A = this chain, B = another copy of it.
Amino acid sequence: MSSLEELQKKVSELEAKLAAVKGNVGAVRQKIEVMSSEVVDSNPYSRLMALKRMGIVNNYEKIREMSVAVVGVGGVGSVTAEMLTRCGIGKLILFDYDKVELANMNRLFFQPHQAGLSKVDAASATLRAINPDVTIDAYNYNITTVDNFQNFCDTIRTGSLTEGPVDLVLSCVDNFEARMAINMACNELNQKWFESGVSENAVSGHIQFIIPGETACFACAPPLVVASNIDEKTLKRDGVCAASLPTTMGIVAGFLVQNTLKYLLSFGNVSHYLGYSAMTDYFPRMSLKPNLQCDDSFCRQRQSEYSSRPAVELATEVTEDPAPLHEDNEWGISLVDENSPEEESVGLKLVEGVQVAYAIAGDSSTPETSSAVAAEEDLEELMRKMKNM
């Protein structure tokens, strides 16, 4: 039996322990009403608002009105969500149906103590602690089932802070089916989105900006973007898994969010396709025109709307790519070279090239290089390969 004195001592000890432990998890910051440029250690936005003084962004605080959906909260999606949260995005909507596992610990973001939690719940808790100013909605379901797909479409259509469509959808999923579902939804909703991906050998990746009707959709030229539709779950059944690295996934998430910021806040040039090959530090860029015979009827509808736009609308917020170098190829692939006179004046030369972002099945040795296609003269070969797929 405990004496009164012993119990009182135990209460003091426990209170001290609780205070110590809570110090590590409880002391999140208060909400901040207005983004300030003030340079004090306590202002989490000073380094972002400095982008205005540096002449990079005119209206950084506008980011608080923006909403972005992140589909897939894995190696790329979780870092994407964290970057946007730290940038002070207005609203994030997360979709995933997976659980955190120790096998995910070779990528950034999730920590071992979160193993077993749903990815969206674990991510929401961490993100809210990092920045309570961001509104975070989370959907713990698979977007490819019929009911969920309808809910997914409704959420994209009404998910902004003013109950309108979200500003962007970012695809960070790991399989073909989910990419096709996002593509279908975005074509129907006329919703701009970025596709992203990392190869199964972990040493290459890409992002692709899809503007329905204006740039190729995911169904317009799938083999170029994803040649293998084997997802993580299929692989795991065979006792093998895809390789992954925190570096490649962090870089792809960085490219994705950087281009998202450029698009949302109207600075710099938004890349339509940016690839990354880690083995040689090679970064292909290109532009893909939509396929007139695309299987997706909404894609074809957006194409006809886009081509019949009144001239006044043609000055879009996104810098147009130069005239394609290969007007005559049926896939409408063009290689991006430098176009802005301003950039030419300081002598910048951009990389030329196209690269298959995923390993082609049966070509396991060095997938990211053996199927890479870069020089202009290789475009015909690429067309031939794609037709045979």
A positions within 8 Å CB-CB of B: 2, 4, 7-8, 10-11, 14-15, 17-18, 21-29, 39-48, 50-51, 53-56, 79, 82-83, 86-88, 101-103, 105-108, 111-113, 115, 126, 129-131, 200-203, 236, 239-248, 250-251, 253-255, 257-259, 261-262, 267-269, 271, 274, 277-283, 285, 342-343, 346-353, 364-366, 369-370, 372-375, 377-378
Contact = CB atoms under 8 A, between A and B. Distances in A.
A245 to B, nearest CB: 7
Given A113-B24, A241-B39, A44 B105 contact: yes
Contacts of A245: 47-48, 51, 87, 258, 261
A44 to B, nearest CB: 4
Given A255-B281, A348-B353, 6 more contacts: A29-B112, A44-B103, A87-B106, A262-B278, A262-B279, A349-B352
Contacts of A79: 108, 250
Nearest to A100: B41
Nearest to A239: B39
Contacts of A281: 255, 259, 269, 271, 274, 283, 285, 350
A165 B17 CA distance: 40
Nearest to A82: B108
Contacts of A29: 102, 105, 112, 115
A247 B26 CA distance: 27
A81 to B, nearest CB: 11
B369 A348 contact: yes
24 contacts: A4-B7, A7-B11, A14-B14, A41-B101, A41-B103, A46-B241, A47-B242, A50-B242, A51-B202, A54-B364, A56-B203, A79-B108, A86-B106, A87-B245, A203-B268, A246-B257, A255-B281, A267-B279, A269-B281, A280-B343, A281-B283, A283-B283, A283-B351, A348-B353
Residue among A22, A40, A246, A257 facing the most chain B CB atoms (10 A cut-off): A246
Contact of A280 (B50, B350, B353): B350
Contact of A251 (B48, B50, B201, B255): B255
Contacts of A258: 245, 247-248, 251, 278
Contact of A44 (B24, B102, B113): B102
Contact of A372 (B130, B348, B377): B348
B105 A130 contact: yes
A382 B40 CA distance: 38
A99 to B, nearest CB: 8
A103 B46 contact: yes
A27 to B, nearest CB: 4
B83 A246 contact: yes
A160 B51 CA distance: 40
A30 to B, nearest CB: 10
A51 B53 CA distance: 44
A26 B113 CA distance: 7
Given A24-B25, A28-B113, A347-B375, A247 B242 contact: no
Given A14-B11, A102-B44, A347 B364 contact: no
Q: Which 4 A-B pairs have the closest CB atoms?
A: A268-B279, A251-B254, A50-B243, A14-B14
